[in-house]
Amino acid sequence: MAGGSIAIPSIISSKASAQKIIINPQPHALENKDYNANDKVRLAAIGTGIIGFYNIRTALKVSGVELVAACDLYDGRLTQVKAEFGNQVKTTKNYKDILAMDDVDVVLIATPDHWHDHIAIEAMEKGKAVYLEKPMVHKIEEGYAIIDAAKKAKVPIQIGSQGVSSIVHQRAHELYKSGAIGDIVMIDAAYDRHSTLGAWQYSIPPDASPENIDWNQFLGDAPKVAFDPVRFFRWRNYQDYGTGITGDLYVHLISWINNIVKSNGPNKIYASGGLRYWKDGRNVPDIMMALMDYPATANHQAFNLSIRVNFVAGGQTENGLRIVGSEGSMLLRGNSLIVSKTPMPKKPEYGGYDSLLTFPESTRNEFIEAYKQKYYTVSGNLQEPNEVTYQAPEGYDDRYDHWVNLIAAVRDGSTIVEDATYGLRAAAPSLAANISYFEDKIVHWDPDKMKLM
């Protein structure tokens, strides 16, 4: 044994074959039930852009829900609402008309971010339940008034990061809580895109004009500027109306993390990024990377999060979470969850990097003999993975489950899964990343008290 590789004991177990398990959602009490006229839940939509239409279509799949009114500032969208959902739907450009209707039970708010707090608070003061699209607020400080309004009005408010209602995420929480991956160490989160639409280059109708768009209402409390259809239809690209990458996509990832590990969020945020490709007049980055520290709680030890969104992903996109623990990892992508059991070795290792070859031969032999006597009975190759994939059934839509939860709360007071407090705890770290980026500083946040420090 004067040189070359070291002979070591062979301690090998056969790798467990990969498994795939389909997670079947539990039947909802609202499904397959006949409702009379008094059981109907009447929905009104404020904001009928891309996300507005998604939500309307999904909500109408829930038993007993009907669309009675819709508000948008562009005439063409109101025309399309009637074309798709019927002429009986009342349409208006003034959201206050919606809130004044006695026959509206639930208000969907899918407007630009800078209108979220105003409309949500007014809706709850009118006694309406609210489905408020994420991010809950345009600015962190706006969240407190929404929380207070919900408490005073005693009406349900659901924030629209629908992954919180996902059966896949519920399974991830159950497995994490059971110790499937041990103590959490770190999380990698990413949401990449490589398309014009993914980068918010939304289509602009050729008839867009001040005659069919209420521009002043759109601006609201934002700075007054001349009519610009690009700003109206691509509002996510502008800080005056949207929250950029972090408000659109970070908030999803942080919502998922907080839900799976039952955390209130990080306490330290630092972000970097830039506008690298989409130099189309926008004033928000097209790539943002952030590091966040999560403090220890009763549900998890302290861990680190790296989070990234990139709108120029080179065609190789990564979307989802990789939760790394001391005993393995979870990979969540879409409606699938891959759990890999890869615990750290429970015994000291040797032989790698030819480390023993730096010892004299007699010392090497003495080390190996002592090692065999102490560790030879260890069974199984502890680095051999044991992988299970959990998959939602084909066609599963967590947005539907999110709406079912809200409608159940309206009917019988069921607990909301993503209330205003939860919404702020997801939005605030996301928006803190914006503060960090634009002000070039580390941001400290108290996730329990929900305060900037």
* Judgement on whether residues 254 and 295 belong to the same structural domain of the protein: yes
Q: Rounded to 5 degrees, what are φ and ψ at 79?
A: -60, -40
Q: Is residue 255 part of a domain?
A: yes
Question: Domain count of the chain?
Answer: 2
Q: What is the CATH number of the domain that holds 427?
A: 3.30.360.10
Q: Rounded to 5 degrees, what are φ and ψ at 262?
A: 55, 60
* Judgement on whether residues 95 and 200 belong to the same structural domain of the protein: no
Domain carrying residue 125: 25-163
Residue 385's pLDDT is 59
In degrees to the nearest 10, what's the CA dihedral of 210, 213, 218, 224?
Answer: 0
pLDDT, tens digit, 9 for 90 and up, residues 351-361: 666 778 888 99
For the segment 314-318, the average pLDDT, to the nearest whole number, is 86
Work out the mean pLDDT of the chain and round it to a whole number: 92
Range from 86-95, 365-374, 405-414, 425-434 carrying the lowest mean pLDDT? 365-374
Place of tokens 């990097």: 353
Q: For 144-226, where are the E strands, in sequence order? A: 157-159, 184-192
Query: What's the CA gap between 161 and 417, in Å, rounded?
Result: 10
* Judgement on whether residues 51 and 136 belong to the same structural domain of the protein: yes
Reported pTM: 0.92
* Judgement on whether residues 131 and 240 belong to the same structural domain of the protein: no
pLDDT, tens digit, 9 for 90 and up, residues 27-59: 887 776 776 767 899 999 999 999 999 999 999
CA atoms within 13 A on the CB side of 64: 22
* Judgement on whether residues 307 and 319 belong to the same structural domain of the protein: yes
Residue 13's pLDDT is 37
Q: What is the CATH number of the domain that holds 126?
A: 3.40.50.720
* Judgement on whether residues 186 and 233 belong to the same structural domain of the protein: yes
Q: Is 306 helix (H, G, I), strand (E, B) or coil?
A: strand
- Nearest residue to 434 via CA among 263, 153, 238, 301: 238
